[in-house]
Amino acid sequence: MALITNAIKGTQDALPNEIYKTQYVENAMRETAENFGFREMRTPVFEHTELFQRGVGETTDVVQKEMYTFLDKGGRSITLRPEGTAGAVRAFLEHGLFNEALPQKIYYLTSCYRYEKPQAGRLREFHQFGIECFGAGEPSADAETISLANEIFNYLGIEGLSLEINSIGCPECRKEYHKALREYFAKYENELCDTCKGRLERNPMRILDCKSPVCSEIAENAPVVLDYLCGECKAHFDGVKKYLDAMNIGYTVNPQIVRGLDYYTRTVFEFVSNEIGAQGTVCGGGRYDGLIGEMGGNPLPACGFGMGIERLLLLMDKKNSQFPEPRKTDLYIVSLGESASLVASSLAKSLREEGFCVQFDTMGRGFKAQMKYANKIGASYALVLGDNELETGNVKLKNMTNGKELEMTLDSFSDDFQSAVIKDVTADFESLGIELDEETLSALTGGNE
Shortest approach of ligand ATP to residue 115 CB, angstroms? 9
Q: How large is the angle between the packed helices 49-56 and 85-94, nearest 10 degrees?
A: 110
Interface with ligand ATP includes 114 (CB under 6 A)? yes
Contacts of 199 (CB under 8 A, 6+ apart): 59, 206, 207, 210, 260
DSSP E strands: which ranges in 389-447?
A: 394-399, 405-409
Query: Which helix (DSSP H) or strand (DSSP E) does residue 92 occupy?
Result: helix 85-94
Interface with ligand ATP includes 166 (CB under 6 A)? no
Residue of the chain from 47, 83, 164, 289 that contacts ligand ATP (CB under 6 A): 83
The radius of gyration of the chain from alpha carbons, rounded to an integer in Å, stands at 28
Report the first-to-last Cα separation within the chain, whole angstroms.
Answer: 51
Shortest approach of ligand ATP to residue 231 CB, angstroms? 29
Return d(Cα 428, Cα 444) in angstroms, integer.
12
Return d(Cα 264, Cα 60) in angstroms, integer.
12
Q: Pick between residue 83 and residue 330 the one whose CB is nearest to ligand ATP.
A: 83
Asked whether 79 and 67 are in contact (CB, 8 A), the reply is yes
Q: Pick between residue 207 and residue 333 the one whose CB is nearest to ligand ATP.
A: 207
Interface with ligand ATP includes 281 (CB under 6 A)? yes
Interface with ligand ATP includes 122 (CB under 6 A)? yes
For CA atoms 10, 81, 71, 51, give the dihedral sign.
negative
Kindly indicate which of the ranges 97-105, 248-256, 277-285, 371-379 contains the residues binding ligand ATP, using the contact rule CB under 6 A: 277-285
Q: Pick between residue 287 and residue 398 the one whose CB is nearest to ligand ATP.
A: 287
Q: Pick between residue 223 and residue 286 the one whose CB is nearest to ligand ATP.
A: 286
Q: Pick between residue 116 and residue 294 the one whose CB is nearest to ligand ATP.
A: 116
Kindly indicate which of the ranges 196-204, 276-284, 319-327, 334-342 contains the residues binding ligand ATP, using the contact rule CB under 6 A: 276-284
Task: Please report, as residue ranges, which positions from 410 to 449 form the binding site for ligand ATP (by CB under 6 A).
Answer: none
Q: Pick between residue 114 and residue 206 the one whose CB is nearest to ligand ATP.
A: 114
Shortest approach of ligand ATP to residue 60 CB, angstroms? 8
Residue of the chain from 89, 123, 170, 292 that contacts ligand ATP (CB under 6 A): 123
Return d(Cα 108, Cα 48) in angstroms, integer.
20
- Tell me the three state secondary structure of residue 285: strand
Q: Pick between residue 68 and residue 98 the one whose CB is nearest to ligand ATP.
A: 68
62: phi then psi, degrees, rounded to nearest 5: -55, -50
Name the DSSP class of 122: B
Interface with ligand ATP includes 25 (CB under 6 A)? no
Asked whether 356 and 306 are in contact (CB, 8 A), the reply is no
Name the DSSP class of 165: E
The contact mask relative to ligand ATP for 373-412 (x = CB under 6 A, - = no) is ----------------------------------------
Cα 224 to Cα 49, 169, 229, 241, 288, distances in angstroms: 34, 11, 10, 18, 20
How many residues line the site for ligand ATP (CB under 6 A)? 17
Pick from 236, 38, 29: which is nearest to 150 by CA? 29
Position with the least CB separation from ligand ATP: 308
Interface with ligand ATP includes 81 (CB under 6 A)? no
Q: Pick between residue 135 and residue 306 the one whose CB is nearest to ligand ATP.
A: 306
Residue of the chain from 283, 302, 347, 382 that contacts ligand ATP (CB under 6 A): 283
Asked whether 114 and 62 are in contact (CB, 8 A), the reply is yes
Q: Pick between residue 196 and residue 347 the one whose CB is nearest to ligand ATP.
A: 196
Return d(Cα 128, Cα 82) in angstroms, integer.
10
Shortest approach of ligand ATP to residue 263 CB, angstroms? 14
The contact mask relative to ligand ATP for 288-327 (x = CB under 6 A, - = no) is ------------------x-x-xx----------------
Kindly indicate which of the ranges 159-167, 278-286, 346-354, 436-444 contains the residues binding ligand ATP, using the contact rule CB under 6 A: 278-286
Q: Pick between residue 117 and residue 376 the one whose CB is nearest to ligand ATP.
A: 117
Q: Is 47 left (phi over 0), alpha (psi -120 to 50) or beta?
A: beta
Q: Pick between residue 43 and residue 418 the one whose CB is nearest to ligand ATP.
A: 43
Contacts of 107 (CB under 8 A, 6+ apart): 29, 30, 33, 38, 39, 40, 41, 129, 130, 131, 132
Binding residues vs ligand ATP (CB under 6 A)? 83, 114, 116, 121-123, 126, 128, 279, 281-284, 306, 308, 310-311
